[in-house]
């Protein structure tokens, strides 16, 4: 089976549920941490053919939205939920079986958080997307690395459950393959990549999860010809987000110049690749330039990102932004596909039972099939991370 995963950090970490799925299936993992819903939309555009050819799509995004973006965008007045609902609609138009994993957040007592989990589950249900709400499993504090990430051994156990459930899930989806409109994400959003902007000045980076091209911030200024690349598709588009890359954890600064002279200076941070949304829509017809900055600075991180209690702005060096891509929005709502009744629901009692088996000494209750999968997993994980392999052996009472 060919599975595509588009997730956040719970899906990107090593030795998690994705690695368990790889024991039996081919998995293309397109996950990346700390990103808004815009990242998932741009991933649909970049990987349309891959998604059309797969057997199953797994998405995971709600922790970032529940904890961060829905808070920030509410204050800014940005229509963030429009993009969430567009993303879900675009997923359904791919006409592929889809599982939406709602990872838990530790000790949620905030009513807003509970309402947001309900929003995502109800949105999924209304569009025929099967969801797995792990907040209903009732993990305890020892099951978490931190507030937003379950431990990898717990995630791996989730993968074991999915291995035993996916085929049943797919049987329920067979009758849903009917005629449909094939709306591409690119009908509503436009992705402009570094290569599109200036192919002769592009650097490349790749690791086990990512392969990307970026324009080195030391020598790019997006003016004239480059800006035309962004604006040529539709003058009614608005810039809503962008991707950037750092080899080190550092501050990046850039300026967006407009024809109205209401220029905006932004600072972002982090090591690796991120796709971040802007705090307002910027019409492309009003755009006159995008410039990396190393001298000017803004002592405010875009989207109000937290930098830590010991952080001192005065001691920091600013680096020009390494640009990966720009996403623009055509200001059109994605039509909702004919609603399909969700025929499959996960059995949360079964999930809880599997977790109880793997956290007690009663591992004899595991089936022979489960034991074979686990044994194969030790070998695979030991190649990547021996320490975690030993921990899994202890959990499953293997010697």
Confidence class for position 369, pLDDT limits 50, 70, 90: low
Confidence class for position 176, pLDDT limits 50, 70, 90: low
- Report the chain's mean pLDDT, rounded to a whole number: 81
Q: What is the CATH number of domain 193-329?
A: 2.60.120
Q: Which residues contact 145 (CB under 8 A, 6 or more apart)?
A: 151, 152
**Residue 183: half-sphere exposure toward Cβ, Cα within 13 Å:** 20
Entry pTM: 0.86
Contact 40, 6 (CB under 8 A): yes
Least confident of 64-68, 112-116, 303-307: 303-307
Least confident of 71-80, 162-171, 223-232, 289-298: 223-232
Of residues 128, 34, 130, the one with CA closest to residue 346: 130
Least confident of 165-179, 220-234, 302-316, 327-341: 220-234
Confidence class for position 313, pLDDT limits 50, 70, 90: low
**Which residues share a beta bridge with 29?**
5
Residue 143, pLDDT above cutoff 60: yes
Judging by beta carbons within 10 Å of its beta carbon (0-12, 13-18, 19+), is residue 189 exposed, middle or buried? Answer: buried
What are the extents of the domains in the chain? Answer: 2-183+345-395, 193-329
Higher pLDDT, 175 or 298: 298
Mean pLDDT across 125-148: 90
Residue 385, pLDDT above cutoff 80: no
pLDDT digits (tens, 9 = 90+) for 239-272: 999 999 988 888 888 888 888 877 888 888 888 8
- Tell me the three-class secondary structure of 122-160, residue by residue: HHHHHCCCEEEEHHHCCCCHHHEEECCEECHHHHHHHHH
pLDDT digits (tens, 9 = 90+) for 71-117: 888 766 668 999 999 999 999 888 899 999 999 998 766 666 788 89
**Which residues share a beta bridge with 251?**
318
Q: How far apart are the first and last CA of the chain?
A: 32
Confidence class for position 130, pLDDT limits 50, 70, 90: very high
CATH architecture designation of domain 2-183+345-395: 3-Layer(aba) Sandwich (3.40)
What confidence score (pLDDT) does residue 236 get? 80
CB atoms within 10 A of CB 387: 10
Phi then psi for residue 144, to 5 deg, are -110, 145
């Amino acid at each position: 089976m060919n599975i595509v995963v588009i997730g956040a950090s719970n899906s990107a970490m090593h030795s998690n549920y994705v690695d368990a799925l790889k024991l039996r299936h081919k998995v293309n993992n397109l996950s990346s941490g700390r990103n808004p819903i815009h990242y998932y939309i741009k991933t649909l555009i970049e990987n349309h053919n891959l998604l059309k050819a797969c057997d199953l799509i797994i998405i995971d995004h709600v922790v970032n939205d529940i904890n961060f973006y829905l808070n920030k965008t509410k204050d800014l007045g940005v229509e963030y939920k429009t993009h969430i609902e567009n993303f879900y609609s675009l997923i359904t138009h791919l006409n592929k079986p889809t599982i939406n994993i709602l990872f838990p957040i530790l000790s949620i007592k905030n009513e807003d958080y509970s309402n947001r989990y309900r929003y995502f589950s109800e949105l999924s249900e209304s569009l025929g997307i099967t969801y797995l709400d792990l907040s209903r499993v009732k993990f305890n504090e020892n099951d978490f690395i931190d507030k937003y990430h379950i431990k990898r051994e717990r995630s791996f156990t989730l993968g074991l459950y999915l291995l035993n459930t996916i085929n049943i899930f797919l049987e329920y989806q067979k009758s849903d393959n009917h005629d449909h409109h094939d709306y591409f994400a690119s009908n509503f959003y436009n992705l402009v990549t570094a290569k599109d902007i200036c192919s002769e000045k592009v650097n490349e980076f790749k690791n086990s999860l990512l392969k990307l091209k970026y324009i080195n911030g030391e020598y790019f200024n997006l003016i004239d010809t480059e800006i035309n690349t962004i604006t040529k598709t539709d003058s009614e588009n608005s810039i809503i987000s962008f991707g950037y890359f750092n080899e080190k954890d550092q501050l990046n600064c850039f300026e967006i110049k407009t024809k109205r002279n209401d220029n905006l200076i932004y600072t972002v941070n982090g090591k690796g690749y991120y796709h971040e949304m802007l705090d307002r829509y910027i019409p492309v017809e009003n755009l006159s330039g995008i410039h990396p900055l190393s001298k000017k600075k803004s002592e405010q991180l875009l989207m109000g990102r937290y930098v830590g209690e010991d952080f001192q702005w005065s001691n920091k060096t600013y680096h020009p932004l390494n640009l990966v891509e720009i996403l623009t929005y055509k200001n059109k709502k994605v039509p909702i596909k004919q609603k399909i009744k969700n025929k499959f629901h996960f059995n949360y009692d079964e999930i809880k039972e599997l977790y109880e088996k793997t956290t007690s000494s009663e591992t004899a209750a595991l089936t022979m099939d489960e034991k074979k999968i686990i044994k194969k997993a030790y070998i695979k994980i030991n190649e990547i991370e021996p320490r975690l392999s030993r921990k899994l052996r202890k959990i499953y009472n293997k010697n």
